[in-house]
C-alpha cells in the first residue's frame, strides 16, 4: 500500500475518504455528532497549509489518512481507514509514519482525542506506545516525542522516494501504452 503526503490540490480526495465514513465512524473520527458532508467539506477547506495529510492510496482513492495538525510543540493526529480496508495494519502504518513526520518537525508531544468506546483506536494508540487517559466518554492519548534522528529522517525520505518511483512506474506504463497506440500496425509489403 502506497503511503505518501497529499498535496494541497489533492485534499478533495481526503474529503471524499472522510465522506465514505458512515454513521458511527464519523462520530468516532471527530469525537462529535452531526458530522455531515457539508461539515466535512468546511473542515477540509479549513485545514491549515502547514498541516500534513498522510494518505494510504489504492490507485487514486484515499483508503486511509492521518491528519497531523502541527502546533508549536504538540502535534495532534486524527486517523481514519475506509471500512473495507480495516484491520490490515493501515491505521498502524499511518500512525507510525505520523510519529516520524511529527518528530522531524520537532514536535515534542503527539496527542489524539478519541471517544472511550473507540476500542480499535485505543488499541492502535497503545500499540504505538501512547499513554491513554480515560475521562468519562472521552479519552486522550499522548506520546512524548524525542528529537528527530537518522531513522525518522530516513523514514520520511524513503516515503517520498517510494511515492516518486511509484509515479514514475505509472508514467512508464502510460508511455508504453501511448507508444503502442502511436505506432501503426505492421503491414506486409506486397511483392510483385
Ligand atoms: C481506528 C482505525 C483508524 C483503525 O484502522 P485499521 O486500519 O483497522 O488499524 P490496524 O489494522 O492497524 O489496527 C487496528 C487494531 O484495532 C484492533 N481492533 C479492531 N476492532 C477492535 C475492537 N472492536 N475492539 C478492540 N480492538 C479492535 C485490531 O485488532 C488491531 O489491533 P492489533 O493489530 O493489535 O490486533 C479505523 O478503525 C477507523 O477508521 N475507525 C473510524 C474512525 C476512527 O475511529 N478514527 C480514530 C479517531 S482519531
> What is d(CA 48, CA 11) in angstroms, rounded to the nearest whole number?
11
* Per-residue pLDDT, 109: 97
Residue 160 has a pLDDT of 85
Could you report the per-residue pLDDT of 165-188, keeping only the tens digit for each? 888 888 898 888 888 888 776 666
**Which pTM value belongs to this model?**
0.88
* Domain 2-177 architecture: 3-Layer(aba) Sandwich (3.40)
pLDDT in the model for residue 175: 87
**3-state SS track over 18-83:** HHHCCCHHHHHHHCCCCCCHHHHHHHHHCCCCCCEEEEEEECCEEEEEEEEEECCCEEEEEEEECH
Are the C-beta atoms of 5 and 158 separated by less than 8 Å? no
Q: Grid coordinates in use for 191?
A: 511483392
Q: Is the distance from the beta carbon of residue 127 to the nearest atom of ligand 1 less than 6 Å?
A: yes
For 162, the enclosing helix (H) or strand (E) is: helix 150-182
A 10 A CB-CB count for 106 gives: 13
CA of 184 to the centre of ligand 1 (A): 53
Which residue's CA is the nearest one to ligand 1's atom 5?
Answer: 91
- Closest Cα to atom 41, ligand 1: which residue? 25
Ligand 1: nearest atom to the Cα of 90: 7
89 pLDDT exceeds 80?
yes
- What is the CB neighbour count within 10 angstroms for residue 48? 8
**Main-chain phi, psi angles of 80, to 5 degrees:** -155, 150
Q: How many angstroms separate the CA atoms of 103 and 75, rounded?
A: 9
Q: What is the mean pLDDT of the chain?
A: 92
Q: Is any ligand 1 atom within 6 A of the Cβ of residue 116?
A: no
**What is the whole-number distance in angstroms between the Cα of residue 124 and the centre of ligand 1?**
6
Q: Is the CB of 78 under 6 A from ligand 1?
A: yes
Q: For residues 87, 83, 165 and 107, what is the CA-based torsion angle, rounded to 10 degrees?
A: -70
User: Phi and psi for 25 in degrees, rounded to 5?
Assistant: -60, -35
- Please work out whether the CB of residue 97 comes within 6 Å of at least one atom of ligand 1: no
Element (H, E) at 169: helix 150-182
Is residue 45 pLDDT above 60, yes or no? Answer: yes
For ligand 1, the distance from its centroid to the CA atom of residue 79, given in whole angstroms, is 10
Q: Is the pLDDT of residue 192 over 80?
A: no
| Predicted pLDDT of residue 188 | 62
**83 close to ligand 1 (CB < 6 Angstrom):** no
Amino acid at each position: 500500500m502506497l503511503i505518501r503526503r497529499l498535496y494541497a490540490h489533492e485534499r478533495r480526495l481526503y474529503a471524499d475518504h472522510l465522506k465514505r465514513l458512515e454513521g458511527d465512524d464519523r462520530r468516532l473520527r471527530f469525537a462529535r455528532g452531526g458530522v455531515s458532508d457539508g461539515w466535512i467539506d468546511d473542515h477540509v477547506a479549513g485545514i491549515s497549509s502547514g498541516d500534513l495529510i498522510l494518505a494510504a492510496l489504492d490507485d487514486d482513492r484515499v483508503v486511509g489518512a492521518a491528519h497531523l495538525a502541527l502546533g508549536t510543540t504538540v502535534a495532534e493526529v486524527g486517523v481514519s481507514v475506509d471500512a473495507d480496508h480495516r484491520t490490515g495494519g493501515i491505521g498502524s502504518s499511518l500512525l507510525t509514519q505520523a510519529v516520524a513526520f511529527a518528530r522531524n518537525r520537532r514536535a515534542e508531544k503527539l496527542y489524539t482525542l478519541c471517544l472511550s468506546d473507540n476500542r480499535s483506536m485505543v488499541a492502535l494508540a497503545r500499540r504505538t506506545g501512547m499513554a491513554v487517559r480515560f475521562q468519562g466518554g472521552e479519552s486522550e492519548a499522548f506520546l512524548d516525542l524525542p528529537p528527530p534522528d537518522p531513522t525518522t529522517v530516513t523514514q520520511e525520505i524513503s516515503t517520498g522516494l517510494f511515492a516518486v518511483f511509484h509515479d514514475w512506474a505509472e508514467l512508464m506504463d502510460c508511455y508504453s501504452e501511448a507508444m503502442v497506440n502511436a505506432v501503426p500496425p505492421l503491414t506486409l509489403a506486397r511483392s510483385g
